[in-house]
Amino acid sequence: MSISQVKRRVGSLSKRVTLPRINRQISSKCVMVMDADSGRTLYALAPDTPRQPASTIKVLTGSIALKSLQDQDRVGVSRKASRMPRSKVYLDPRKKYLADDLINAVLLASANDASVALAEEIGGDERKFAHMMNLRAKFWGAKRTICKTASGLTARGQQSTARDLANIFRHAMKDPEFSRRMYKRKVTTSDGKTLYNHNKALWRVRGTQGGKTGYTAAARQTYVGQFSRDGETIIVAIMGSETMWSDVKKLVDYGFRKKQQIRLARAESSAAKEQTSLN
> Which residue in the list 14, 55, 151, 160 is annotated as catalytic?
55
> Which residue in the list 58, 212, 250, 258 is annotated as catalytic?
58
> Which residue in the list 14, 63, 110, 241 is annotated as catalytic?
110
179 is catalytic: no
15 is catalytic: no
246 is catalytic: no
Please state the three-class secondary structure of the chain as a single string. Answer: CCHHHHHHHHHHHHHHCCCCCHHHCCCCCEEEEEECCCCCEEEEECCCCCECCHHHHHHHHHHHHHHHCCCCCEEECCHHHHCCCCCCCCCCCCCEEEHHHHHHHHHCCCCHHHHHHHHHHHHCCHHHHHHHHHHHHHHCCCCCCECCCCCCCCCCCCEECHHHHHHHHHHHCCCHHHHHHHCCCEEECCCCCEEECCCCHHHHCCCEEEEEEEEECCCEEEEEEEEEECCEEEEEEEEEECCHHHHHHHHHHHHHHHHHHHHHHHHHHHHHHHHHHHC
Q: Which residues are catalytic?
A: 55, 58, 110
